[in-house]
Amino acid sequence: MSTSSIQILHHERLPQSGVLVVPGQLDFSLLLHLEKLFAGRRVTWLVEEHADYDPAIRGHLEQSGSGAAYSCQDAAPELAGKHLQEYLANGGVLIHVPGRVTVRNGTACHIPAAHLKVLCAFGLPLLPIAVDFPRTSALSIERVASLPHAVMVVANPVPAKESSVAAFQQHLFEAAEEAYSTRALFKGSLAMALLEGLRKHGAKNRIIDGADDTEMSYDRVMAIAIAFSKVIRQETEKPRVAIVLPPGKAGFIANLAVLFAGKTPVNLNFTASHDAIKSTVRQSGVDRFITADPFVRKVSGFPWPPNRELILVERELPALKKQIVKWSILTKILPPRLIGWWLGLHRRKGDDEALLLFTSGSSGEPKGVPLTHRNVLSNVCQFATRLEVPFGSSILGSLPLFHSFGCTVTLWFPVLEGLNLVTYPNPVDTKRNSELIALHQINILLATPTFLRGYMKRIDPAQLASLKLVVTGAEKLPRSLAKAFEEKFRILPQEGYGLTETSPATNVNLPDPHPEPGAVMIPSARGGSVGQMLQGIALRLTDPATDKVVPLNKQGIIWFKGPNVFNGYLGNPKLSEAVLKEGWFRTGDVGRMDEDGFLYIEGRISRFSKIAGEMVPHETVEAAINKVLGLDSEAERKVAVVGVPDEQKGEAIILLSTIAGPAVEQECIDLRYRLLDEGLPSLWCPRQIMFVPEIPVLASGKLDIKACEEFAKQQR
């Protein structure tokens, strides 16, 4: 292994005093590099006495003659730490060697929690070292041989008095983010990468439009999109182009064509209110809207612009037959990189804007979220690495294209990784979606818990038999729903997490990999959590009241840092400054992390009320109310909690309910006593019940916080 294929960053962080070095993962070549890194100092290898080691590593450790052992079952690790202290004398280095584990690709820490707890309990100064193996997590379009074997980043040391699993995780994730962010791919162009993907997978993979059962190979899509891009260039000089289309071949081609035209696609939310749509059009500055005649007629309530501003796909493409034939030939002859240069796609890359999405507006006016080429490419790579989807797999694309998850995972991911894409314009039509899953033997289903409930009601389990992975997002996945879905369809839905501002995926639960003999299993799923971090994302938590950093195992506001994190809101520097600090993004969600690296979302800061100085989580109160009232968490929402201003205590809890009763005041008193019996603090109990015809929710299934607050204000 040549030294040039292993990069080591931040040598200056190496402490000169004695330290326990704990690499997140290690192979034989890196073990030798660590030895060289501390040349001239006394090096002692630390192994777990019951762990299984790779034969090459075991042989080297035996030959070195300098080793120490510990037990993950040690009942007094502090005492063991005192014995190990002698190895740190005079600048000595104790290097922990992780044993063999069975773990999903893209996991930053390959040390089982039981081992890590003992290592941190020694009370020794720690030096985490993050390791990234680019060749094992490269996209299919990358030239693997040109990538370094490994990138090692020396983290900031953890002082002995601060040694803990949470502190180790914090420092390791931050160093892992630095390692991951060095990848050359992220400096490139999304459009160029898509050309590479369409060319590489063009003959093998295709898009199948479930609305009319038409199929189109990726190489055919590429030729059409390039030809169509010329029309878009001629139609407008604006840098952005709106797209008003559902998932399908037209939406797929339109998004590719806008990128190939050197412009930014803006997929508009056609289910939003007129005010919200007008706001997104105004903010994005678009003057052309790509859509289709049938869709214009179907969505008559959309505030359509004048006809001269519409680019109708079904009218434009027939006139491009000769151009499509030309590009079909050229794309088979010429390399994608040359075609990309010919189209000028190399000019927009890295931190340039690639996409413009808008938040759902659940708590106010939609915010414009420009995502860069770096953001999108890194998130596709993060998601693909974690999933490890076999080539030839198929994915169902029914989530809206204006939804960040629908955009990243059902537009760019299939092209870059070579998956068949089966589309359908309506995620709520579970009957037709199930038919498509069965017909095309689809392996991956992305949905929200709201959409999963539709499958529970009327779908034959045999229709979903081909599914290997079901991932939900946008809202919390109730355990009862997950269990019921597994009982019916023999597959457990996995909960993920992300935000538009993070391109979007940051966490996901996934089935545990098949165990290897002798290796310790590191789990990759845990009920109630949103999963472990995707590769290259750092996590920080802060106290909601003081904004001070708190340990990862304590409840706090979630901050993310990574190449997938956006650079700021469109035309809103004040708001951007409020949520972005030195590359860290303040999500507004509250959570904590456990010792195995699973993140738990415990509410949104906008869904907390500060009452008499105490933070009260609305979702926890709702869960308790559902329980004492015996409400089915799999059914539609019947209750929602909101906070309203209160002169005495700052805020008061109000319960919105669709269940009307004869004596509201008495019902509120009865509910209070039942909640107290359940263990809910008195301060958290609703002061008032307001009956409403329905609980407002967005198209994604999320609670419409803004509308709920309006209900509460109107009825007070």
663: pLDDT strictly greater than 70: no
Residue 258 CB partners (closer than 8 Å, separation 6+): 229, 232, 241, 243, 264, 265, 290
Say how far apart CA 450 and CA 433 lie, in whole Å: 15
**What is the model's pLDDT at position 671?**
82
Distance of CA 439 to the CA centre of its chain: 29
Q: Which is nearest to 469 in space by CA: 412, 384, 543, 533? A: 384
Per-residue pLDDT reduced to its tens digit, 512-554: 998 888 899 999 999 999 999 999 999 999 998 888 999 999 9
**What is the model's pLDDT at position 699?**
65
More confident site: 670 or 276 = 276
Residue 637: both structure tokens together: 């929402």
What number of CA atoms fall less than 13 Å from residue 535's CA on the CB side? Answer: 31
Local confidence band at 560 (pLDDT 50, 70, 90 cut-offs): very high
Local confidence band at 203 (pLDDT 50, 70, 90 cut-offs): very high
**What is the model's pLDDT at position 196?**
97
Domains of the chain from N-terminus onward? 3-182 (no CATH), 190-588 (3.40.50.12780), 612-715 (3.30.300.30)
**What is the model's pLDDT at position 184?**
95
More confident site: 560 or 671 = 560
**Mean pLDDT score across all residues of the chain:** 91
H-helix segments, 236-306: 249-260, 274-284, 293-298
Say how far apart CA 536 and CA 179 lie, in whole Å: 7
* Share above pLDDT 90 across residues of the chain, in percent, rounded to a whole number: 73
Residue 659, Ramachandran bin (φ over 0: left; ψ between -120 and 50: alpha; else beta):
beta
Say how far apart CA 296 and CA 560 lie, in whole Å: 39
CB 228 within 8 A of CB 373: no
Local confidence band at 640 (pLDDT 50, 70, 90 cut-offs): confident
Q: 10 Å Cβ neighbour count for 515?
A: 11
Strands (E), 405-453: 420-423, 444-447
Say how far apart CA 384 and CA 392 lie, in whole Å: 14
Say how far apart CA 553 and CA 541 lie, in whole Å: 9
Distance of CA 141 to the CA centre of its chain: 21
The structure's pTM equals 0.89
3-state helix, strand, coil in the chain (%, to 5): 40, 25, 35
308: pLDDT strictly greater than 60: yes
**What is the model's pLDDT at position 365?**
80
Q: What is the DSSP letter of 697?
A: B
- Considering only CA atoms, give the Rg of the chain: 27
Element (H, E) at 639: strand 639-646
**Strand, coil or helix: 559:** strand
Mean pLDDT of 540-569: 95
Mean pLDDT of 88-113: 95
Q: 10 Å Cβ neighbour count for 610?
A: 15
Q: Which is nearest to 657 in space by CA: 677, 699, 686? A: 686
351: pLDDT strictly greater than 90: yes
Say how far apart CA 535 and CA 505 lie, in whole Å: 11
**What is the model's pLDDT at position 399?**
92
Mean pLDDT of 38-51: 92
Strands (E), 294-387: 310-312, 353-358, 368-372
Q: Which is nearest to 260 in space by CA: 197, 167, 215? A: 197
716: pLDDT strictly greater than 60: no
Query: Distance of CA 319 to CAs 77, 231, 296, 332, Å?
Result: 75, 10, 21, 22
Residue 164: both structure tokens together: 């803990």
Q: What is the DSSP letter of 702?
A: -
71: pLDDT strictly greater than 60: yes
Local confidence band at 697 (pLDDT 50, 70, 90 cut-offs): confident
Residue with tokens 């933070």: 615
More confident site: 14 or 365 = 14
Say how far apart CA 157 and CA 625 lie, in whole Å: 46
Count Cβ neighbours within 10 Å for each residue of 279-310 and write b for 16 or more, e otherwise: bbbebbebbbbbbbeebbeeeeebebeeeeeb
633: pLDDT strictly greater than 80: no
Mean pLDDT of 165-178: 98
**What is the model's pLDDT at position 700?**
61
Q: Which is nearest to 187 in space by CA: 342, 348, 341? A: 348
Residue 641: both structure tokens together: 């909690």
What number of CA atoms fall less than 13 Å from residue 609's CA on the CB side? Answer: 25
Q: Which is nearest to 421 in space by CA: 407, 411, 431? A: 411
Q: What angle do CA 267, 271, 277 make, to 5 degrees?
A: 60
Mean pLDDT of 114-134: 96
Mean pLDDT of 481-500: 95
Say how far apart CA 483 and CA 488 lie, in whole Å: 9
503 phi/psi in degrees, rounded to 5:
75, 5
Mean pLDDT of 551-565: 96
**Strand, coil or helix: 677:** helix
Residue type, 334: L
Residue 266 CB partners (closer than 8 Å, separation 6+): 240, 241, 242, 243, 280, 284, 286, 355, 356, 357
Q: 10 Å Cβ neighbour count for 353?
A: 17
Local confidence band at 327 (pLDDT 50, 70, 90 cut-offs): very high
Element (H, E) at 373: helix 373-387
173: pLDDT strictly greater than 80: yes
* Share above pLDDT 70 across residues of the chain, in percent, rounded to a whole number: 95
More confident site: 333 or 656 = 333
CB 106 within 8 A of CB 382: yes
Local confidence band at 613 (pLDDT 50, 70, 90 cut-offs): low
